[in-house]
Structure 1
Amino acid sequence: MKYRPHKYQEYATERILETPYIALLLEMGLGKTVSTLTAIDLLVNDYFEANRVLVIAPLRVAEDTWAREIEKWDHLKHLRISKVLGSAAQRRKALKTESDIYVINRENVEWLVSELGTKWDFDTVVVDELSSFKNHQSKRFRALRRVRPMMKRVIGLTGTPAPNGLIDLWPQIYLLDQGERLGKTVTGYRDRYFIPGERDGHVVYKWRQKKEAEERIYEAISDIAVSMKAEDWLELPPRVDRTVTVRMSDKARALYGQLERDLLLPYQDADVVASTAAVLSNKLLQMASGAVYDEERGVKLVHTAKLDALEDIIEAANGKPVMVFYNFKHSLERITQRFPQARILRKGKDGNEDIRAWNNDEIPLLLLHPKSAGHGLNLQESSCQTVVWYDQIWSLEEDQQANARVHRQGQTRAIVVMRLVAQDTMDEEAVKALEQKATGQEALMQAVKARIERVKGESA
C-alpha cells in the first residue's frame, strides 16, 4: 500500500529525525507506528545515523504489529525485522540475525540487559507504550536505566503517559533525557512539584500537585514531547475504523478447523437455504470469537485470542473508558470473567443510572449488545474514544446504530472503532460485507457457501 501521510504524521516523523530523544504522545488512530518506522528507515538507510534499532513493546504487539506495519506499506517493505521472542535460545538466535530492527517484549528487557551487559549495541531504542515504564521501582525500568547511557536515540510512544496523574511521569522522561529536565531522582521530582497527601507513617500513598506544577512540568519537557490528540488533527467529529487481526495459536487453529469441517461438510452436496445459512454463519462467528454452544447448550472453548487482544486495547486506552459490543452470551460471560470491572447496560431506571455513570466516566468498560444499543441512547458525553466490536455481525443497520451511540452530534472527540477479526474465519466475511454495505441474506448465504467450498477443497 502506498503511504500518503497526514500532516501530523509528517510532523511526527520530522520531530523524531530532529530530536535524539523524544516522546510521541499520540492517541490511538493517529498512526504512530508507521510514523516511527518511516523515521527509522531514513535514519538507517538515508542519514546513516542509526545502525542497530531495538523496539520494546507489549508481547502481542511485538509478535505482530511492527512486522505487519512493515509488510503493509510499500516504502517500508525492504526493512528487515527480527523478533527476539520465545525461549532463551530462540531469543539469542534472533539477536544474531542480520536485521534492521529487533523487536522484544517488555517482560524480557531485564534478560536482554543481562545478556548483553557492557556489550549493549543498540544505538536506537523505541519504547512502544512508554507508560508501561512508569514504575521507577520495576525491574524493567531499572534494567533499561542501566544501559540508557549507551543509547544515541530513544523514541517513546504512548497515548496517555500519565493516566494516574503526573506523579507517574518522571521514570518515563528519565529514560529519554536521563534526568536533565525533571531531575536525576524521583525524590527530587516529587519535592519540586508535589506535596505529600495521604500517608501511613513515612510511606506516602498519594501526592498532590503544587500550584502551577502541571504548567511547569509541561514547560520543562516541551522540547522533547510531541502531544497529539486526534481531535486536534482530524476533522471533527472523525471516526477511524480499524480491523484488528487476531491470530489463534496452532492448537486453537487446529481445533477451529476441525469444528468448522464437522459443521460444514454435511452440507457440501446440499442446497443451502437462508435459514440454514444463518444458523451455520452464527456457529462460525461464535467459534471465531472463541467459543461455541454444543448440542446440550454447553460452551466449548476454542481460543482466548480475542480476550487477549481486548486486554491490549484496554491497556492502550490508559484509563479512558472503553465501549465493547458483543453478540453472543458466552462472549459476554467470558469478557466479564476476564475483566471484573466491566459493566453491562441494564434496562429501565437502572439503565438510566448506567448511562449517567458512563457519561461521567464512572464506568471503565461498558458492554453492550447491538440490539439493545440502538436508537435513543446518548453515550457520547464520556471521554471514551475506543469502541470495540468483540463479535462480528451481519446487520449494517445494527452496526451503524450501535456506533452512533458515541459517534454522534455533541461528540467532541475522535472515535476509533476496532473490530476484532479472527484470521481466516467467518469474521473476515462479515466485516467485508459491512465495509461494502452488502449485508443481508444474499451476502450471508454466499459467504457460507464459499466457506463450504473451501473446507470441501481442503478435505479432498
Structure 2
Amino acid sequence: MRRCLVVAPKKVAEATWTNEAAKWQHLKHLRIIPVLGAQQKRIRALNTPGDIWVISRDNLAWLVEHYRNAWPFDMVVLDELSSFKNHQAKRFKVLTWVRPHIKRIVGLTGTPAPNGLLDLWAQVNLLDQGKRLEKLITHYRTKYFEKNYNGYGYTAKPGADDAIQRKIADICISMKAEDYLELPDAITNIIPVVLEDKALKQYKQMEKELLLEIDDDTEITATSAAVLTGKLLQLCNGALYDGERNVHEIHNCKIEAFMELIEQLNGKPALVFYSYQHDRDRILKALEKSGLRIRELKTPQDQLDWNTGKIDILLAHPASAAYGLNLQDGGNHVVWFSLPWSLELYEQANKRLHRQGQKQKVILHHLVVQDGADEDVMAALEAKATTQEKLLNALKVRAEQIRKGA
C-alpha cells in the first residue's frame, strides 16, 4: 500500500491518529496528514506529501467529488465502521462509488451490530462488495429475516446469526478487550433520584398528557417513541423544551442529586454526559460556585488538558464523544446525567475511560429518576437488547396503564 486514507469521526480525525502514532517508536516514520478545516486547507493537506491522510466522515462526500475517477488512495481505513451501517446514508453511497478503486479496506468498530444483524449488511458490503451477504439489502433481508407481524421491522430467522457469522468469518475478527488486554473492571452505580411531591405530580401529569396523545387507534412507532421518550427524559432531568425551543424548568431534583454526587467524589475528575442543551446549561449554572475546573469537550486541547489533570468536570454529549477519543488518563468516573436512547452511543461513550491504559476501576454513575422514563431506558441498556424495541414496549405498557387509570 502506498497511500492510505483514514475516515473517522471529526474529533478522532482532529487528534487521535496523530497523537497515538507519536507514542510508538515503530510508527514515527509515518507521515500522518489531517485533512480538516476549510476547503482550501483540505486541498493543501491532500497535496502535502505523506503516508496516511485522515479526514472526517462528514467530508467524505466532498473528497469523492474532489477526486472523481482519479481516486488516489489504494487503502482505506474506516474508523468506526458502524457509522456506515445505514445503506441509505450518503456516506455509504459515495464510498461505494469509489470502492472498486480501493485495493484494501479495513473497518474498525466496537459495536458492529448495535441494533441487530440488519446493521451488518452495509458494513460487510463495503468490505467485500456484496460477495458474502448478498449484493442487495432486499436479498439479504429476504434470506435471513422475517417481517414482523405488525409490519414494522424484521426479526432474524432461526439460525440466521450462525449462518451470517460463518459467511463473514474469513474477513472478520472479533476481539474482546478482556480476552486480550488487562483492563480494570467497570462498575455500574445506579443513583436513584426521587422526585419531590410537587415535581412528581407535575411529571405524572405531563406524562399522562403526552402518552394520551397517542389514542387507541394510533400505533406507537419508532418516530413517535423517540419524540415521546425524549420529552419524558427531559422531564426526568428537570426541564422541557416547548414548540419554540423555549426552556421551561420543572424541578431541580436531578441537579441536586448530581451536585451531591460531585461532592462525594471529593475532587476526583468526572466525565459527565448530558443529552440536551438545557441539561448542559443547568449543570454549568449549578457548578458556577463550586470552585472546580469545568470544561466542555470541544477541541483536541480539551482532550489533552483532561488527560493531564487540568480539568475536574468535563462535560460532553455522547454523540460527540462516542468514538475513538482516548480520555482514560484523566479520570475513572463517568456520570450519566441523562441516559441516551442508543445502546451504541452508551457503550462507546463508556469506553472513553474504560480502555487500554486505564489504571483504575472505572465507575459508571447513572442518575435514574424512580418510576420515570429513566428506568425504562436503564433497563433496556442493562439488558443489552435492541433498545428501540424495549422502549416501544415500555411506552405501550405505560400508555395502557394510564388509559386504564384515566
TM-score by length of 1: 0.48
Deviations 1:37-74 (A, max 9, x none): xxxxxxxxxxxxx1110000111111111011111111
Aligned to 2:95: 144
**8 A Cα contact 1:159 1:316, kept in partner:** no
Task: From 83, 92, 106, give the equivalent of 1:155.
Answer: 106
Mapped contact 1:294–1:300 kept (Cα < 8 A): no
Map of 2:184 onto structure 1: 239
2:62 pairs, out of 108, 111, 120, with: 111
Question: Counterpart in 1 of 2:158?
Answer: 211
Cα distance, 1:70–1:240 mapped onto 2, change above 3 Å: farther
Pairwise CA distance, 1:190? 0.8
Matched, 1:325 2:334: yes
Q: 1:75 corresponds to which letter in structure 2?
A: H
> What amino acid is the match of 2:184?
R
Aligned partner (choices 52, 55, 61) of residue 12 of structure 2: 61
1:382-435 deviation per Cα after TM superposition (whole angstroms, max 9, x unaligned): 769xxxxxxxxxxxxxxxxxxxxxxxxxxxxxxxxxxxxxxxxxxxxxxxxxxx
Given the superposition, is the C-alpha separation of residues 198 and 63 from structure 1 closer, same or farther in structure 2, using an over 3 Å criterion? farther
1:266-305 aligned at under 5 Å gives the runs 291=284, 293-294=287-288, 303-305=296-298
Contact 2:12/2:323 (8 A) holds in 1: no
Q: Contact 1:287 / 1:302 at 8 angstroms: preserved in 2?
A: no
Alignment CA distance shift 1:171-1:382 (3 Å) = closer
- The equivalent of 1:170 in structure 2 is 121
| 1:176-223 CA-partner distances (Å, limit 9, x unpaired) | 0000111111111111111111555xxxx3111112111111101110
Q: Which amino acid in 1 is paired with 2:157?
A: K
2:7 touches 2:54 (CA, 8 Å); kept in 1? yes
Question: What displacement does 1:303 show?
Answer: 3.4
- Counterpart CA distance in 1 for 2:158 and 2:129 is 25
**CA–CA distance in structure 2, aligned partners of residues 298 and 186 of structure 1:** 54
Counterpart in the other structure of 2:27 = 76
Q: Mark the runs of 5 or more structure 2 residues left unpaired by the alignment.
A: 187-262, 274-279, 299-313, 326-331, 347-365, 386-406
Determine the C-alpha separation between the residues in 2 that align with 1:298 and 1:76: 41
The residue that corresponds to 1:227 in the other structure is 174
8 Å Cα contact 1:173-1:179 kept in structure 2: yes
Name the counterpart of 1:179.
130
> Do the aligned partners of 2:121 and 2:133 also contact (CA within 8 Å) in 1?
yes
Residue equivalent to 2:3: 52
In structure 1, C-alpha distance between the alignment counterparts of 2:270 and 2:154, rounded to whole Å: 47
Deviation per residue, 1:311-339 (Å, 9 max, x gap): 4554679xxxxx9634xxxxx7xx53x95
2:6·2:79 contact (CA, 8 Å) conserved in 1? yes
Structure-2 separation of matches of 1:198 and 1:307? 43
- Secondary structure at the counterpart of residue 160 of structure 1: coil
User: AA paired with 2:334?
Assistant: F
Separation in structure 2 between the aligned mates of residue 313 and residue 303 of structure 1, nearest angstrom: 11
1:94 partner SS: helix
Give the AA of the match of 1:303.
E
Determine whether 1:344 maps to 2:291.
no
Cα distance change on mapping 1:340 and 1:179 into 2, 3 Å: closer
Determine the C-alpha separation between the residues in 2 that align with 1:65 and 1:142.
26
Unaligned runs of 5+ in 1: 1-49, 242-278, 318-322, 327-331, 365-380, 385-460
CA separation in 1, counterparts of 2:271 and 2:75? 42
Q: Is the 8 A contact 2:80 2:323 kept in 1?
A: no
Distance 1:211 1:132, change over 3 A: same
CA offsets per residue over residues 335-380 of structure 1, 9 Å max, x none? 53x958895146xxx59xx99x89xx6154xxxxxxxxxxxxxxxx
Provide Cα deviations, 1:275-302, integer angstroms capped at 9, x if missing partner.
Answer: xxxx9xx89979999957446x899985
SS for the counterpart of 1:216 is helix
Alpha-carbon distance between aligned partners in 2 of 1:165 and 1:285, rounded to the nearest angstrom = 35
Scaled by the length of structure 2, what TM-score is found?
0.54
Instruction: Count the aligned residue pairs.
Output: 254
User: C-alpha distance in 2, partners of 1:81/1:228?
Assistant: 26
Who is 2:38 aligned against?
Answer: 87
> What is the 5 A alignment of 1:421-440?
none
After superposition, the Cα gap between the structure-2 partners of 1:51 and 1:143, relative to the gap in structure 1 and judged at 3 Å, is: same
The 1-side partners of 2:268 and 2:175 are apart by 40
What RMSD over aligned residues (CA atoms) do the two structures have, in Å? 4.1
SS in structure 2 at match of 1:131: helix
Letter in 2 for 1:362: A
Percentage identity across paired residues of the two chains: 43
The 1:187–1:158 alpha-carbon spacing in structure 2 relative to 1, beyond 3 Å, is same
SS in structure 1 of the partner of residue 61 of structure 2: helix
User: Does residue 379 of structure 2 align to residue 362 of structure 1?
Assistant: yes
